[in-house]
Amino acid sequence: MLSDVTTPQDLDDRFRETLAALPAAPRRRDPAAPVTDDAPLTGARLLDLFDAQVTSRQLDLAGRWLRSFGEGFYTIGSAGHEGNAAVAAALRPTDPALLHYRSGAFYCVRAAQAAADTAPAETPDAEPAADRQQAADREQGTDPDPATEVEPAGSAPPAGGFAPYAEAARDVLRGMVASSQEPIAGGRHKVFGRADLNVVPTTSTIASHLPRAVGMGLAVERLRRLDSAGRRTGAGVRVGDGVSPWPSDAIVVCSFGDASVNHASATAAFNTAGWYDHAGLRIPVLFVCEDNGLGISVRSPQGWVEAALRAKPGIRYVSADGADPVRTYEVAQEAVDWVRRHRRPAVLHLRTVRLMGHAGADAESAYRGPAELAEDLDRDPVVATARLLVDAGVATGEELLARYDETGWQVRRIAEEVLGEPKLASAADVVSALAPRRPVRVARAVGDAAARASGPGAAARAEAFGGKPPELAGPLTLAQSINAALADGLLDHPQMAIFGEDVAAKGGVYGVTKGLRDTFGAARVFDTLLDETSVLGLGLGAGLAGMLPVPEIQYLAYLHNAEDQLRGEAATMRFFSQGAFRNPMVVRVAGLAYQEGFGGHFHNDNSVAVLRDVPGLVIAVPARPDDAAPMLRTCLASAAVDGSVCVFLEPIALYHTRDLYAEGDGEWLAGYPEPGAWVAGHVPVGRARVYQVGSADDLTIITFGNGVRMSLRAAAVLAEEGVGTRVVDLRWLAPLPVADIIRESSSTGRVLVVDETRRSGGVGEGVIAALVDAGYVGAARRVAGVDSFVPLGPAARHVLVSTEAITDGARTLLAR
């Protein structure tokens, strides 16, 4: 019957029957000897892997048991993938790992490795008697061949069993029941992760963690190559501070399923790793594709995964059968050694099976037949390991079954214990780790940067700016102010790096990063390939490795195909790790509309809704040069202090704008503050700027970006009509400056929201909602962009906000 090969009970029964039927080997083998002739694993080591596999299997069974009475919330298991235990054994516990959701055995091995590395060394007195006798025999030249040594009947295999994996089992079970004491996500999700195990939590979004893995590899290698002597490079910047959390020879391991090979994020990651390898830059990443032939119910065509992986340029391909632990370990060890030695990417194609379906609710009978399911059971990796141990004479089937039962009892006991642990009890508990805000520390960090720039770093700063610092350069445009602030950031943050398409040699398509590579060197300002997913992935990995990445997305419209790297990866890291891991980042994006004589939708995108929906994300929109530098300093400090993920959205049309009211008035220019003025000019996250025109008593205009310039022009026209206006520049779209919005709106009782984004899903909706939530009872009106993409040329004027539309909207509001 179909049920005989699909349910947890039947999987357990099948395992028991198979082990009971295994005939004992004619002779016992010394567990310290290779498990087979020339095998890279000893019997004892393979027995350890068996115990890890069994622990993982029993956790899967426990997950289904917990779910059966409503106490378990996650049933995607690792059954059939336990061959990844051998992959973990080939790695070091200091190699950072990003694991997919069928990594139970890998996680168990990693936890045991880390515990062994920190355990105190045994004293000579603790040496077992049998070992002392063997040592004596060897000294006398009478030591028998361990591969053929006959042990007394009834001799048991070495101890070990469940104990080394108990802590890992508790971690996993806590995740299944959403316990707030779970060590990585604290009950927010069931993930494999722990900081002390160097296991970085990943979400279940398919393949989204692969670009991050490439970024981690690039960052590990760049930090490794920094001048260990601490010599100064480019503009006197000191490097080599040793901030990487991993050893200099560490490699990154990243696992995923066969269906993920087809995902755009995976394609981007493979392409980027190969691209850098082809260019001569090193990416020490081992990709592990665990291929069970299925993406839930969709089959991977026969041979497709191998063909796809073999075809990846610049990435070495190796393969192994997950049902053969010895060969898997051997291949994995060779791949790990190769990546570690050559600092180049490789992919291990590990063939696996999937037992018990995709998850507890998956009815495999809808798409798989009994014969196929039975065939997978014949390739059960835990049975394969048991069979090898019995055939080699390391243990008997009865002994292994006893270990299996003991582990099952222990897992069930721990499961019952964690059932009583507390859950997250409030919304505050849930969001506490999401995006901490410590404005006092951020302000202090800005002050410290100012003190360094005017004190011990003054000479290096003078050198970087060629003897003419920006505060002596006269009034600057928005682009020039951002450029100067980036240079000051590079001077103050030794691990800061700026990268993206065209940012280095060209200096950005609008010249915003011009000259930075020449001053600070190609290791800190560099061009990337044309792929936004990879640009953000590099930033995510660099942030985890201890750098302060400042990636650039060339246009806002280009961000949308890579947005999940911000939503599903960047913004969730602190949430799913309770702050144990973070990926600080300041993403510069050129965006919004109003470019004259150029554009169309892809160069005049006015949609930010997808960013405002991301919990915890900081979104800054500087309109004026004198706001741009302090806001950028705040974002850099917030990233460094709080691990914030910030989007610095730069209005393209204002980059080189010089005038406000009339041609040649120069009133959109501003001086760059000297370091001594940085503290006084500090702009905290979530604080608006208010301009008062005339009496400022009649009308409040709330706006941002290009709307600030248009609103100030409209306010000047209204002032001639006797209307006093407050123009509120939000500056921050997330978090919105709600207190400033309420205060300035209440001062006049008439609010005009000028939103250059779209009427539906635009920023204005959030402003109006904030007013309603606060009980605002005055008049309110919106002037917003039309729900349309921005067309080319003069047609754009029909869908975008204009100064005239703002003036007319104000008059209508005042006439009520």
So what's the pLDDT on residue 78? 95
The pLDDT tens digits of the residues spanning 595-613 come to: 876 667 778 888 999 999 9
Buried b (16+ CB within 10 A) or exposed e, 334-352: bbbebbbeebbbbbbbbbb
The residue-averaged pLDDT of 21-43 equals 92
Q: Which of 100, 189, 603, 682 is catalytic?
A: 603
Over the stretch 525-540, which tens digit does the pLDDT of each residue have?
999 999 999 999 999 9
CB atoms within 10 A of CB 32: 15
Q: What angle do CA 370, 375, 378 make, to 5 degrees?
A: 130
Q: At what angle do helices 8-21 and 43-68 cross, to 10 degrees?
A: 150
b/e sequence 222-240, b meaning 16+ C-beta within 10 Å: bbbebeeeeeebbbebebb
499 - beta bridge partners?
526, 551
Find the mean pLDDT for residues 42-52. Answer: 97
End-to-end CA distance of the chain: 77
Residue with tokens 């890992």: 168
For residues 368, 371, 374, 376, the Cα torsion angle rounded to the nearest 10 degrees is -60
Contact 531, 268 (CB under 8 A): yes
CA 40 to CA 362: how far, in whole Å?
Answer: 38
Tell me the average pLDDT across 206-235.
75
Q: Has residue 807 got a pLDDT over 70?
A: yes
User: pLDDT at position 602, please?
Assistant: 77
| Residues paired with residue 591 on neighbouring β-strands, in sequence order | 651
Q: CA geometry: angle at 328 spanning 327 and 330, to 5°?
A: 60
Select from 98, 263, 280 the least CA-distant residue to 194: 98
| pLDDT of the residue at 243 | 64
Look at residues 282, 211, 271 and name the one whose alpha carbon lies nearest to residue 248: 282
Higher pLDDT, residue 710 or 158: 710
| CA dihedral sign, ordered 804, 810, 811, 816 | positive
Pair 587, 555: CB distance under 8 Å: no
Q: What Cα–Cα distance (Å) separates residue 677 from each residue in 152, 453, 471? A: 83, 11, 10
CA–CA gap between residue 780 and residue 751 (Å, rounded):
5
Q: What is the pLDDT of residues 478-509, one digit of tens each?
A: 999 999 999 999 999 999 999 999 999 999 99
Q: How far apart are CA 180 and CA 772, in angstroms?
A: 35
Q: What gap in Å lies between CA 62 and CA 52, rounded to an integer?
A: 15
Write out the E strands in 325-466.
Answer: 346-351
DSSP letters of 546-569? T-EEEEEES-HHHHGGGTHIIIII
User: With helix as H, strand as E and coil as C, how does 449-505 read?
Assistant: HHHHHHCCCHHHHHHHCCCCCHHHCCCECHHHHHHHHHHHHHHHCCCEEEEECCCCC
Q: What percent of the chain has pLDDT over 70?
A: 92
744: pLDDT strictly greater than 60: yes
Classify residue 679 by its DSSP letter: T
Helix ranges (H only) for 521-621 are 532-544, 556-559, 564, 573-577, 609-612
- Tell me the average pLDDT across 689-713: 97
Q: Which residues contact 69 (CB under 8 A, 6 or more apart)?
A: none
Structure tokens, 139: 């000294």
pLDDT given for residue 776 in this prediction: 95
Contacts of 337 (CB under 8 A, 6+ apart): none
Alpha-carbon distance values, 609 to 208, 546, 733, 764 (Å): 21, 30, 10, 11
Catalytic residue list contains 603: yes
pLDDT of residue 363: 84
Q: Are strands 779-785 and 689-693 parallel, antiparallel or unpaired?
A: unpaired
Q: How far apart are CA 626 and CA 84, in angstroms?
A: 55
Polymer length in residues for the chain: 816
The number of C-alpha atoms within 13 Å of 639 and in the hemisphere containing its C-beta is 35
Arithmetic mean of pLDDT, 75-99: 96
Question: Using alpha carbons only, what angle is made at residue 224 by residues 219 and 226, rounded to the nearest 5 degrees?
Answer: 100
Average pLDDT over residues 572-593: 94
Distance between CA atoms of 446 and 469, rounded to whole angstroms?
Answer: 18
Lowest mean pLDDT segment, chosen from 105-109, 271-275, 364-368, 563-567: 364-368
What is the rounded distance in angstroms from the CA atom of residue 725 to the CA atom of residue 723? 6
Per DSSP, 196 falls in state G
CA–centroid distance for 528 within its chain: 19
The residue type of 539 is: G
Measured distance CA(522)–CA(270) in Å, rounded: 23
In which region does residue 282 sit, left (phi positive, over 0), alpha (psi from -120 to 50) or beta (all else)?
beta
Residue 748 has, within 13 A of its CA and on its CB side, a CA count of 27
- Specify whether the CB–CB gap between 164 and 51 falls below 8 A: yes
86: exposed, middle or buried (C-beta count within 10 Å: 0-12, 13-18, 19+)? buried
Q: Compare 140 and 77 and report the one with higher pLDDT.
A: 77
Q: pLDDT tens digit string along 746-796?
A: 999 999 999 999 999 999 999 999 999 999 999 999 999 999 998 888 888
List CB contacts of 174: < 8 A, sequence separation 6 or more: 181, 182, 183, 187, 418, 421
pLDDT digits (tens, 9 = 90+) for 414-462: 999 999 999 999 999 999 988 889 999 999 999 999 999 999 999 999 9
Structure tokens at 180: 């707030």
Query: Of 63-67, 177-181, 379-383, 793-797, which range is least confident?
Result: 793-797
Percentage above 90 pLDDT, the chain? 82
| pTM metric for this prediction | 0.91
228 Cβ partners below 8 Å, 6+ apart?
240
Task: Kindly report the average pLDDT of the chain as a whole number.
Answer: 91
Decide: 686 and 733 in contact? Cβ < 8 Å: no
600 touches 792 (CB < 8 A): yes
Question: Do residues 319 and 352 make contact, with C-beta atoms less than 8 angstroms apart?
Answer: no
Take residue 67 and report the two structure tokens written for it.
């779910």
Query: What pLDDT does residue 223 have?
Result: 86
CA–CA gap between residue 521 and residue 543 (Å, rounded) = 20
Residue 720 is inside which H or E element, if any?
helix 706-720
For residues 461 and 156, the model is more confident at 461
Strands 585-591 and 548-553 come out as parallel
CB-based contacts of 738: which residues, under 8 Å, 6+ apart? 770, 774
Q: pLDDT band at residue 120, thresholds of 50, 70 and 90?
A: low
pLDDT reported for residue 144: 44
Beta carbons within 10 angstroms of residue 406's beta carbon: 16
Nearest to 785 by CA among 810, 765, 811, 813: 765
Report the Cα 281 to chain-centroid distance in Å.
22
pLDDT for position 244: 77
CA-based angle 692:712:728, to the nearest 5?
Answer: 55
On whether the CB atoms of residues 239 and 226 are closer than 8 A, the answer is: yes
Residues in CB range of 381: below 8 A, 6 or more apart: 53, 80, 81, 82, 83, 322, 323, 325, 352, 353
Cα atoms in the 13 Å half-sphere on the side-chain side of 299: 7
Q: What is the sign of the dihedral through the CA atoms of 694, 696, 699 and 704? A: positive
Distance CA 113, CA 116 (A): 5
